[in-house]
């Protein structure tokens, strides 16, 4: 066998091609150069850009909620609405799925829901944020925190609380889950109550924890407190009296309002049925209706004083003018107008006291449609009241050019037009004052109110005397108040059902003022569809008026103005009706 020496080995003797070695070196150098260039670009040239991109993925603007202002009654000592701390419970679905069945069941119990519902909310693991429940009370939130459930976190927020519940519900209203007013005062003055939220720009990690601030904090500006004209004590008394009457007469609904005739402030406004604004399940349906301002109805006889006052003001009649109402039936313009009883010859005071439709028809014959329309418009009928409260109804008052003579007659005694209880109470301030109608307010007033002259002072005083007789022993005697002289008018109107006047459904009303010697308040009461104990306004609404006037005047510290014999008479009447 032929042997080769070491230096003669063909493998060792062969040399690799030089170009291959250079290629390898070049490739390695290019690789290191590329890595160096990339590092230079990332670390130096694009550092700010990439940092901004990263921050965008984890940077958040936190809204710093302003504290919503309180709503107070006129005294400033009774809180009607305030904000309380609460927590929003949220989770990261991917982490929440690590929770045990026992933890999920306990969480569902605290949130008043079912475990299956929590599983449904968190089934999408791609989400990084899911609300489980908002506005959770602090005691429940603390209990949830102690469970230490994986992926469950909390955010600070507030919830609105209404201490007076259903007594103040229709006035105060309520807010939604985002703390925005959607009913009542909460809606009407939402911007004032809300204030201005602040902001905080931060970087968070995936668990929602704040790592650092990236901008200066803009502090929130808290909302203002509101002091209403409502007197919490008068409101409660009104609610109590109205609720008792509604139950006694098994009525469909009821409403009442109390006005301060000197300032135009609304001291009380009650609607039944009501609801608890703290309970979201009750905030639906007919219970939300503020019937004092939204419901309109044909007023019936409570309109008669306005027509009579117009005729007196224009000199078309005097207090001595006589009207023969006959036997209680009167043919007029192809229709028969009737009274409840035979009244014979009456003057204007007798027409008001006896509530004669025939007498009012005869008075309307001396008036023009235009004059009646202008006076009713001046009283606020057919126009939206200017009280800055949501849902105000304008009522219905057709243009006078389209009135037929029979319509002029029916409007004279309260049919053919529609009004709200607020409008009626407001209009009656002309009789409580010197013929001028004061502007209304739901906020406590500091200065003097504005007013509009509607009747002369002489006519206002005359009508006040007639209304006192209408609420006296020979009128709506159930409206009388021990110790005080009162004046007012009852009204009983048939309701329209399917376009026709019902023979079984009525609305009984009473509107009046007290004390007559120096009127301080106007009270209007409406009982809708009473089904037991009568339906006439003098029977179902007048006693509520009496109760409200009695408690209100005593709360206001108004001195009695009735003579002693009147006190005895009212006391005896009270014993007979018990």
- Comparing CA positions, the residue from 78, 90, 269, 283 lying closest to residue 175 is 283
- 3-class DSSP assignment, residue 575: helix
Between CA 520 and CA 514 the distance in angstroms is 6
What are the residues whose beta carbons fall under 8 Å from the beta carbon of 561, sequence distance 6 or more? 483, 484, 485, 515, 516, 517, 518
Classify the phi-psi angles of 154: left when phi > 0, otherwise alpha if psi is within -120 to 50, otherwise beta: beta
* Residue 352 tokens, joined: 């008001």
CB 56 within 8 A of CB 49: no
Between CA 441 and CA 104 the distance in angstroms is 52
- Can you spell out the DSSP letters for 322-382? -EE-TTSEEEETTEEEE-SS---EE-HHHHHHHT-HHHHHHHHTTS-HHHHHHHHHHTTTT
Question: Strands (DSSP E) along 65-122, which ranges?
Answer: 71-72, 79-91
Sign of CA dihedral 560, 564, 569, 573: positive
Between CA 411 and CA 361 the distance in angstroms is 9
- 3-class DSSP assignment, residue 106: helix
Between CA 394 and CA 375 the distance in angstroms is 16
Between CA 571 and CA 198 the distance in angstroms is 62
- Can you spell out the DSSP letters for 213-254? E-S--B--BPPPPEEBS--HHHHHHHHHHHHHHHHHTT-SEE
CA 385 to mean position of chain CA atoms: 15
Between CA 88 and CA 572 the distance in angstroms is 61
83, 301, 441, 551: which is the annotated catalytic residue? 301
- Comparing CA positions, the residue from 423, 383, 439 lying closest to residue 295 is 423
Between CA 475 and CA 467 the distance in angstroms is 9
Between CA 452 and CA 434 the distance in angstroms is 10
Between CA 496 and CA 502 the distance in angstroms is 6
Answer yes or no: 441 catalytic.
no
- Comparing CA positions, the residue from 432, 413, 459 lying closest to residue 318 is 459
Between CA 150 and CA 92 the distance in angstroms is 9
DSSP state of 316: S
- Which helix (H) or strand (E) is 138 found in, with range? helix 138-147
**Sheet of 500-514, strands arranged across:** 266-272, 253-260, 521-528, 500-514, 487-497
Between CA 339 and CA 303 the distance in angstroms is 16
Q: What are phi and psi of 157, to 5 degrees?
A: -155, -175
Give strand pairing partners of 512. Answer: 488, 523
> Which residues belong to the active site?
301
């Amino acid at each position: 066998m032929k042997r080769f020496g070491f230096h003669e080995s063909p493998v060792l003797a062969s040399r690799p091609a030089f170009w291959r070695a250079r290629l390898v070196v070049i490739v390695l150098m290019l690789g290191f150069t590329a890595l160096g260039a990339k590092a230079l670009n990332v670390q130096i040239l694009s550092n700010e850009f990439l940092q901004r991109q990263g921050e965008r993925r984890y940077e958040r603007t936190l809204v710093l909620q302003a504290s919503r202002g309180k709503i107070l009654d006129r005294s400033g000592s009774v809180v009607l609405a305030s904000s309380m701390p609460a927590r929003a419970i949220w989770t990261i679905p991917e982490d929440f799925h690590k929770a045990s069945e026992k933890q999920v069941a306990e969480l569902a119990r605290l949130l008043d829901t079912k475990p299956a519902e929590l599983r449904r909310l968190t089934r999408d693991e791609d989400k990084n944020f899911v609300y489980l429940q908002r506005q959770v009370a602090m005691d429940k939130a603390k209990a949830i925190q102690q469970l230490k459930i994986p992926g469950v976190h909390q955010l600070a927020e507030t919830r609105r609380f209404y201490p007076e519940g259903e007594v103040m519900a229709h006035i105060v209203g309520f807010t939604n889950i985002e703390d925005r007013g959607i009913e009542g005062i909460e809606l009407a003055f939402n911007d004032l109550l809300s204030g201005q939220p602040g902001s905080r720009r931060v970087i968070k990690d995936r668990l929602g924890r704040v790592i650092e601030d990236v901008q200066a904090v803009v502090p929130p500006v808290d909302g203002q407190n509101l002091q209403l004209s409502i007197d919490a004590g008068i409101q409660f008394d009104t609610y109590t009296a109205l609720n008792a009457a509604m139950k006694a007469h098994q009525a469909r609904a009821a409403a009442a309002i109390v006005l301060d005739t000197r300032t135009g402030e609304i001291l009380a406004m009650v609607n039944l049925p009501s609801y608890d604004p703290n309970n979201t399940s009750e905030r639906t349906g007919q219970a939300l209706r503020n019937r004092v301002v939204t419901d309109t109805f044909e007023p019936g006889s409570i309109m008669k004083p306005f027509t009579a006052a117009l005729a007196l003001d224009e000199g078309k009649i005097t207090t001595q003018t006589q009207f023969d109402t006959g036997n209680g039936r009167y043919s007029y313009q192809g229709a028969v107008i009737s009274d409840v009883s035979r009244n014979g010859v009456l003057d204007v005071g007798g027409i008001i006291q006896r509530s004669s439709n025939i007498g009012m028809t005869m008075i309307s014959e001396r008036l023009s449609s235009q004059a009646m329309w202008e006076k009713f418009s001046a009283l606020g009928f057919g126009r939206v009241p200017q009280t800055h409260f949501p849902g105000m109804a304008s009522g219905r008052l057709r243009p006078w050019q389209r009135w037929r003579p029979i319509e002029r007659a029916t409007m004279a005694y309260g049919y053919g037009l529609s009004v709200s209880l607020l409008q009626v109470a407001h209009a009656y301030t002309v009789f409580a004052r010197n013929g001028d109608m004061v502007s209304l307010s739901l906020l406590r007033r500091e200065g003097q109110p504005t007013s509009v002259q509607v009747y002369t002072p002489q006519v206002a005083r005359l009508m006040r005397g007639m209304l006192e007789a209408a609420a006296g022993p020979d009128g709506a005697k159930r409206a009388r108040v021990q110790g005080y002289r009162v004046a007012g008018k009852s009204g009983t109107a048939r309701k329209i059902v399917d376009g026709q006047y019902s023979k079984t459904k009525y609305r009984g009303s009473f509107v009046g003022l007290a004390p007559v010697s120096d009127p301080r308040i106007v009270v209007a009461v409406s009982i809708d569809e009473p089904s037991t104990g009568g339906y006439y306004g003098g029977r179902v609404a007048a006693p509520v008026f009496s109760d409200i006037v009695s408690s209100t005047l005593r709360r206001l510290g108004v001195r009695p103005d009735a003579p002693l014999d009147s006190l005895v008479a009212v006391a005896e009447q009270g014993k007979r009706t018990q």
